[in-house]
Structure 1
Amino acid sequence: MGGAMLRRWLAAGMEARHVTVVSPSGRAMPDGVRVVPAVPAAEEGAYDVILLGLKPQQLRSLSGGAIAGHAPRLLVSILAGVEEATLAPLCRAGAVVRAMPNLPVAIGKGVVALHSSTADESVRDERGSTT
């Protein structure tokens, strides 16, 4: 699902150079997307948004502190069945947002349900977002 969303965002105009994908397997990504085998240390770059697009059973790989040093404005999760209380301790995010997309998002025809108990007005305001 994460890959489908990424391809659509790129097709809609997001610049690939603004995207870093962590892919331990080295799976091919669209041209221009930075692919790394592990989460970069916080000192190597600040991320405005971290999107978790792994399988829920792989979440244990992050609980060892892989993103703990990061402080993104948003931590967005598309992990089915993983509650906000489980996600919040992973890093020092300004807000944790659970996103539940459906597959038609890949062609720009889907919907995404969003939930966050921590998101304030500035987080919900799309004008506050950066690319």
Structure 2
Amino acid sequence: MNKVEFDDRRSFVLGLGCERGASPAEVLALARSALQQAGITADDIAAVASIAARTGEPAILNAAQSLAVPVIFFEPDVLERETPRLANPSDIVFKLVGCHGVAESAALAAAGVTAALILPKMKSPHATAAIAKTVLQND
């Protein structure tokens, strides 16, 4: 999937990052905590987004399935283009995966060029989450 379908009801993207083999329960709990902290619900989410290296990662797929939304994955070079818009760029993450952030970058990349982070990166022991809001024409 390369394109997220947004509408008046679903105008947010949940970006997720995790270590390989992270617990699906931990990642889902972090995702739900992020939604709660942002003051939105699963019904407001258009998609979950992450890095291509996590394609097939059970924790990411479980979160998207539990929230009943599609999941979109981006290559590191696409995520790296989002670095100027990140609240928490990380040189450590860059050394590990080739971009300065996963959760924030993925949320922004999926939400589009006019999107903004409404919830910067938050962490659990083995995962990260961030939320971006797309700007619809009638916003």
Query: One fold, TM greater than 0.5?
Result: no
TM-score interval (norm. to shorter): 0.3 to 0.5
* More RCO (CA 8 Å, sep 6+): 2
TM-score, length of structure 2 as denominator length: 0.33
Bigger helix fraction: 2
Q: Bigger radius of gyration, 1 or 2?
A: 1
Bigger strand fraction: 2
